């Protein structure tokens, strides 16, 4: 394994992208720039070994991580992902983006992220439960409702959170619902949490389109990723009479200029595990997806999906980042030069963590809100934050991403400054 230095990222990696984003914003930070190195040094990173007994009797070891990037504004907050490509460097970048995201929408958290390098599709339910419980027990020394609060991310879900909450509670000797969010509603979870990220993506896309004078009705939309974020954003777009002309996931790519029927596609994915084999659209190849004729492109899969060549081919006028870090450094510059508006991840996909915040607040008071109340409060925070960022972008003549980073980094570094250094 090559030595990892925080200031020596793998070129083109998410952490490299993040460090460049911080450099871009530094000239706008005034006196707070004195503290900017804070954002390049994660506060704490834990690597854990997760040994479990597999169903066939073998003992397998998995590597897991929990990184607390910054805790200046409050406890760490961010998801846990299960994926074969998870590395410490990736989790580092994802935790840093949580710091920026939580500050950009002004919820009282720092940033954290966790992950296990595993292909969850190869594990039985029993093995997944063991993996989750052992991981929780290993990271229990640094998580807790006032320390760091995990949540779902790629390939984790409410069931994963139930096992985490149960394991942490068993270790503490009492019920601790607020240690994780994204739990099942039966267990202190919040109504509206599962759909919150996709809903937030839709709300932000709608608002951005409005300011560009682009009516959603009839707008052609392409969505990459058809999991919890992409499928719900696509569904809400279709309900608003936008036309979802192309969808791509791990199993294939589909196009239908007349519009793909999203509820039917969701049913298909439920039974087949992916969009491949759906007959009411034409199967296209992976690269053609990026050049499809559309007005709005929503990458909602993994980081680094939009690289330079893909950025050159995108036909949309508006790109809304449903995933974390889907556009790499080079592509970001190309999209800017091509005049394509990019709504950055740290605002576009913040709906999930915003409703996680509502869940955590509800758990503390053991008093639960209606779904309407949650959706209304989500809309007010999400659109309020988006409008602030738009105004800042106009005032500074910078892209939306830089404006979001200016607002977020100022909040984090102001907290850093008033807290002071100890000792
Ligand atoms: N994993 C989600 C994200 O990347 C949600 C995190 C949370 O709710 O803490 O924003």
Does 41-175 match 196-339 in CATH topology?
Answer: yes
What averages of pLDDT result for each successive group of 10 residues across the chain (423 residues)?
A: 73 92 96 96 97 98 98 98 97 98 98 98 98 98 98 98 98 98 97 98 98 97 97 98 98 98 98 97 98 98 96 98 96 97 98 98 97 98 98 98 98 97 91
Question: Ligand 1 mean position to 352 CA, how many Å?
Answer: 6
Residue 19, number of CB atoms within 10 A of its CB: 20
Q: How far is CA 58 from CA 51, 55, 61, 127, 309, in A?
A: 10, 7, 10, 11, 44
User: Does the C-beta of 190 come closer than 6 Å to ligand 1?
Assistant: no
Q: Is 181 in the pocket of ligand 1 (CB under 6 A)?
A: yes
Best probe residue, ligand 1, of 79, 107, 158, 161 (max atoms within 8 Å of C-beta): 79
Of 271, 264, 275, 159, the C-alpha closest to 225 is 275
Q: Note if 113 is an active site residue.
A: yes
- Phi and psi for 152 in degrees, rounded to 5? -70, 155
Choices 3.40.50.10860, 3.30.460.20, 3.40.50.2020, 3.90.550.10: CATH for 41-175:
3.40.50.10860
Tell me, in angstroms, the distance from the centre of ligand 1 to residue 256's CA: 31
Answer yes or no: is the C-beta of 102 below 6 A from any ligand 1 atom.
no
Q: 283: which strand partners? A: 254
Residue nearest (by alpha carbon) to ligand 1 atom 8: 353
Position 3 scores a pLDDT of 61
Among the listed residues 40, 43, 101, 113, the single catalytic one is 113
Give me the CATH topology for the region 196-339. Rossmann fold (3.40.50)
Best mutation site among 68, 96, 98 for ligand 1, i.e. most ligand atoms within 8 A of its Cβ? 98
Say yes or no: CB of residue 352 within 6 Å of ligand 1.
yes
Q: What is the pLDDT of residue 7?
A: 81
End-to-end, the C-alpha distance of the chain in Å comes to 35
Do strands 318-320 and 341-343 pair parallel, antiparallel, or not at all (unpaired)? parallel
Of all protein residues, the one whose alpha carbon is nearest to atom 10 of ligand 1 is 353
pLDDT given at position 12: 84
Alpha carbon of 358 to ligand 1 centroid (Å): 13
> Does ligand 1 lie within 6 Å of residue 151's CB atom?
yes
Every domain of the chain and the residues it spans: 41-175, 196-339
pLDDT at 1: 47
Instruction: Report CA(356)–ligand 1 centroid distance (Å).
Output: 8
Give the model's pLDDT for residue 11: 87
Ligand 1 centroid – CA 9 distance (Å): 23
Burial (CB count <10 Å: 0-12, 13-18, 19+), residue 119: exposed
**What's the pLDDT at 4?**
66
Q: Check if 79 has its Cβ closer than 6 Å to any atom of ligand 1.
A: yes
Tell me, yes or no, if the pTM score tops 0.85: yes
Rounded distance from Cα 94 to ligand 1 centre (Å)? 10
From the CA of 94, give the closest atom in ligand 1. 4
Which atom belonging to ligand 1 lies closest to the Cα atom of 150? 9
d(CA 168, CA 187): 14
pLDDT value of residue 374: 98
């Amino acid at each position: 394994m090559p030595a990892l230095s925080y200031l020596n990222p793998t070129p083109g990696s998410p952490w490299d992208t993040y460090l460049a984003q911080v450099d871009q914003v530094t000239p706008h930070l005034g006196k707070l720039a004195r503290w900017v190195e804070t954002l390049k040094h994660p506060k704490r990173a834990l690597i854990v070994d997760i040994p479990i007994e597999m169903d066939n009797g073998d003992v397998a070891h998995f590597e897991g991580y929990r990184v607390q990037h910054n805790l200046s504004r409050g406890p760490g907050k961010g998801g846990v992902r299960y994926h074969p490509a998870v590395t410490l460097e990736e989790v580092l970048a994802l935790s840093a983006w949580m710091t920026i995201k939580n500050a950009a929408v002004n919820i009282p958290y720092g940033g954290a992220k966790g992950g296990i390098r595993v292909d969850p599709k190869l594990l039985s339910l029993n093995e997944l439960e063991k993996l989750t419980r052992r991981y929780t027990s290993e990271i229990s020394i640094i998580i807790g409702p006032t320390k760091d609060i995990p949540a779902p991310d790629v390939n984790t879900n409410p069931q994963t959170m139930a096992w985490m909450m149960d394991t942490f509670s068993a270790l503490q000797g009492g019920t601790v619902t607020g240690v994780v969010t994204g739990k099942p509603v039966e267990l202190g979870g919040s109504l509206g949490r599962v759909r919150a990220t996709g809903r937030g993506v839709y709300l932000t896309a709608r608002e951005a389109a409005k300011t560009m004078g682009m009516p959603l009705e009839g707008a052609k939309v392409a969505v990459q990723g058809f999991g919890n974020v992409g499928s719900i954003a696509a569904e809400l777009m279709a309900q608003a009479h936008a036309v979802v002309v192309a969808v791509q996931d791990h199993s294939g790519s589909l196009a239908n200029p007349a519009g793909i029927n999203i509820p039917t596609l969701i049913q298909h994915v439920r039974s087949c595990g992916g969009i491949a084999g759906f007959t009411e659209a034409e199967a296209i190849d992976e690269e053609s997806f990026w050049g499809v004729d559309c007005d709005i492109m929503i990458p909602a899969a993994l980081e680094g999906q939009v690289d330079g060549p893909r950025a050159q081919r995108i036909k949309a006028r508006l790109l809304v980042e449903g995933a974390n870090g889907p556009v790499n450094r080079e592509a970001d510059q190309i999209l800017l030069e091509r005049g394509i508006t990019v709504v950055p991840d740290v605002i576009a996909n913040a709906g999930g963590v915003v409703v996680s915040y509502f869940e955590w607040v509800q758990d503390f008071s053991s008093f639960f809100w209606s779904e309407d109340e949650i959706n209304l409060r989500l809309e007010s925070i999400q659109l309020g934050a988006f409008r602030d960022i738009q105004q800042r972008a106009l005032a500074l003549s910078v892209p939306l991403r830089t404006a979001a980073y200016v607002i977020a980094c100022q909040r984090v570094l102001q907290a850093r400054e008033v807290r002071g250094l100890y000792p």
